[in-house]
Amino acid sequence: MAETQGATVDRVRLAPFGDALGFLLRLAQIDSFERFFADLGHLDLRPGELTVIVLLEGNPGVRQGVLAEALKIKRAHMAKMVRALGEAGLIRREVPEDDRRAVELYLTEAGATLARRLRPAVTAHEARTPATLTPAETATLKRLLRKYLALTDPEGTTP
Amino acid sequence: MAETQGATVDRVRLAPFGDALGFLLRLAQIDSFERFFADLGHLDLRPGELTVIVLLEGNPGVRQGVLAEALKIKRAHMAKMVRALGEAGLIRREVPEDDRRAVELYLTEAGATLARRLRPAVTAHEARTPATLTPAETATLKRLLRKYLALTDPEGTTP
DNA sequence: TATTGTTATACTCTATAACTATA
DNA sequence: TATAGTTATAGAGTATAACAATA
């Protein structure tokens, strides 16, 4: 009864996962996700939808398959998301003349308005350094993650 | 038709997500996950189950709630997983004398055999440095992730 | 034949709340 | 009252395959 939580015998030996990169990445991603939605959860958008809306602002007319590839989500999933966003009146889908299989995505007026509302919140969130890291350490962490991903371009363009 | 894949106009401007820690962590985790199951996917265990089996080898008798907390998974999810593992004959559940609400987990013979088979594959996978990073960079990346998580102990024990 | 997107299905993990039995 | 675990339900994300239209 001395212990108020997590109590009992514990301390779990996490070996051989305690120092595994994949495990650390998973915990870090959970934490980062929680931080993200602590900041932005009040807008009732799902994570994927928020990402698509904000990215469409900088990529008008992008093909949904291309966007899916950049975000590492499956085309089937993107199709569902795009339909939902279309039904919500946030995006518009256009079939280009030169390839009538494809679909190009654009924000509607409502979507653009939402994107403008979202962007500052997203930017503010990202400017914040995690409490446990110095700004220099955060920069190093990001640089190493980009190198790990072979994503050398810090400008935000996929190769 | 010059482009064989990902083709078309593309290059997606990922701003303002391209340099976001959460976004980089997500991509890194997907990549790490793919690498993990490229190595270990032939054993038909689900990710969570594999983790529990291997950890139980080093934590006999751990309470399932404690394990759930350490792995950042919900107790409800752990309950389902534990039931499935029990039905598969891999783990044994014991109610301790001193607190009859609790459940302590142990590997059965079959579970221990499986764990012994899993462990070398897990260890080998983790010893491998990602191709794009030097060993020193990998060490730095892990150190920064641990610091980000306020997980200062490299030995693999949760605080 | 290959590609773009769609639909359908199923599975993994997550989130929540209501429930039991114990404490 | 609070805690450990269970059950049920819903939802998000993912994986897969079959399909239509187009290239």
Segment A46-100, tens digit of pLDDT: 888 999 999 999 999 999 999 999 999 999 999 999 999 999 999 999 999 999 9
Domain ranges of chain A: 41-126
Q: How many CA atoms lie within 13 A of A68 on its CB side?
A: 16
**Which residues, at least 6 apart from B84, have a Cβ–Cβ distance to it below 8 Å?**
B49
Beta bridge partners of B93: B105
CA of A107, closest CA in chain B: separation in Å? 15
B63: three-class secondary structure by DSSP? strand
Contact assessment for residue B49 and residue B81, using Cβ atoms and an 8 Å cutoff: yes
Contact assessment for residue A139 and residue B144, using Cβ atoms and an 8 Å cutoff: no
Per-window interface: A 61-120 vs B, CB < 8 A: 62-63, 66-67, 69-70, 72, 99, 102, 119
Residues of B in contact with A132 (CB under 8 A): 147-150
B25: three-class secondary structure by DSSP? helix
CA dihedral B103, B107, B111, B116 (to 10 degrees): 140
The tokens describing B103, both together, are 């459940």
The closest alpha carbon to A118, from A68, A69, A47, A62, belongs to: A47
For A117-158, the pLDDT digits (tens) are 999 988 888 888 889 999 999 999 999 999 999 876 555 555
A90: three-class secondary structure by DSSP? coil
From the CA of A110 to the C1' of C12: give the distance in Å. Answer: 34
For A89-102, the pLDDT digits (tens) are 999 999 999 999 99
CATH topology of domain A41-126: Arc Repressor Mutant, subunit A (1.10.10)
CB contact under 8 A, B16 and A54: yes
Does domain B21-126 fall into CATH 1.20.1530.20?
no
Cα separation of B76 and B127, whole Å?
33
Helical packing angle, A21-40 and B135-148, nearest 10°: 40
Contact assessment for residue A17 and residue B51, using Cβ atoms and an 8 Å cutoff: yes
For chain A, the maximum distance between any two Cα atoms, rounded to a whole number of angstroms, is 71
Q: Which residue has the higher pLDDT, A43 or A159?
A: A43
B37: three-class secondary structure by DSSP? helix
Report the mean per-residue pLDDT for chain B: 86
B14 vs A: CB within 8 A: yes
CB contact under 8 A, A16 and B154: no
Cα separation of B95 and B87, whole Å?
17
Residues of B in contact with A157 (CB under 8 A): 11-14, 18
The closest alpha carbon to A73, from A61, A82, A65, belongs to: A65
Q: Is A135 exposed, middle or buried (0-12, 13-18, 19+ CB in 10 A)?
A: exposed
**Among residues of chain B, what percentage have pLDDT more than 70?**
89
pLDDT of residue A5: 36
The tokens describing A84, both together, are 């939902």
Q: For strand C, is any atom closer than 7 Å to the CB of A102? A: yes
